[in-house]
Amino acid sequence: MPSSTVENYLKAIWSLQAQGGDELVPVGQVAEKLSVAPGTATTMMNQLLKMELVDYIPRAGVSLNEAGRRAALRVIRRHRLIETFLVEIMKLDWAEVHDDAEVLEHAISDRLLERMDEMLEHPTHDPHGAPIPTSQGEIPSDGNAILSECRPGDYTLKRVRENEPSFLQWLSGLGLKPGSELTLVERNREADTLSLMIPNHSEPLQISLPAAQSLMVKARAVSS
């Protein structure tokens, strides 16, 4: 079984590849994501190469091979199922489960994980709206759009791609979570903010573009 350090590197490479369209990821980006020195990340790349989990071309970048991808998705499945368990069964706040899941994802046995999956009746998405990979290593693509890139219109919030508890608590305080409906009224170009109408608020809410970049939405057909 790969060590927790190896698993964290695989997860980091996987998510950088997912953002960048599956190209080679510069090792500097991996180092930055994991807050380690570039030299430390380079040493690990050679180790991952020896473990036959990545394709690594010095100075060009790194990508997961099929074995690496499967190993990364196994950790992501654990992380997302644990978060779902902590919220649905243990009744913790969805804003505060990420850090515990970061630790537990490396620790629990497959037997416990599959029992959690059963108790949760095989959920497809975690409390942040992220898809949970199946035990066969399949992950559905969700077809969501990034709110900051959307035109004005009616949307359903599908996923929040941010783990910072204070940001998630701010969303919770507004009553926003995956499944909430919202309307993008306009983009204020000077201030680089978006105006949103959200349920139970009579005034438009202004949110910054960086905040809107972590909100994934799907267009909603409005019945007339």
**Interface ranges with Zn ion (CB under 5 A):** 98
In the complex, least distance from residue 195 CB atom to Zn ion, rounded to whole angstroms = 29
Closer residue to Zn ion (CB): 98 or 158: 98
Closer residue to Zn ion (CB): 74 or 98: 98
Closer residue to Zn ion (CB): 52 or 164: 164
In the complex, least distance from residue 74 CB atom to Zn ion, rounded to whole angstroms = 15
In the complex, least distance from residue 172 CB atom to Zn ion, rounded to whole angstroms = 15
Count other C-beta atoms under 10 Å from residue 146's C-beta.
Answer: 14
In the complex, least distance from residue 163 CB atom to Zn ion, rounded to whole angstroms = 5
CB-based contacts of 54, cutoff 8 Å, min separation 6: 13, 45, 48, 62, 63, 64, 65, 68
Closer residue to Zn ion (CB): 84 or 196: 84
In the complex, least distance from residue 211 CB atom to Zn ion, rounded to whole angstroms = 18
Distances (CA, A) of 125 to 1, 29, 117, 218: 25, 27, 12, 15
State how far the Cα of 100 lies from the Cα of 51, in Å rounded to an integer.
28
State how far the Cα of 180 lies from the Cα of 81, in Å rounded to an integer.
22
In the complex, least distance from residue 127 CB atom to Zn ion, rounded to whole angstroms = 9
In the complex, least distance from residue 19 CB atom to Zn ion, rounded to whole angstroms = 16
Distances (CA, A) of 133 to 22, 72, 80, 86, 197: 17, 10, 8, 18, 33
State how far the Cα of 26 lies from the Cα of 97, in Å rounded to an integer.
30
Strand partners, 181: 156
- Chain residue at closest Cβ approach to Zn ion: 98
Closer residue to Zn ion (CB): 10 or 45: 10
Closer residue to Zn ion (CB): 91 or 189: 91
Closer residue to Zn ion (CB): 71 or 104: 104
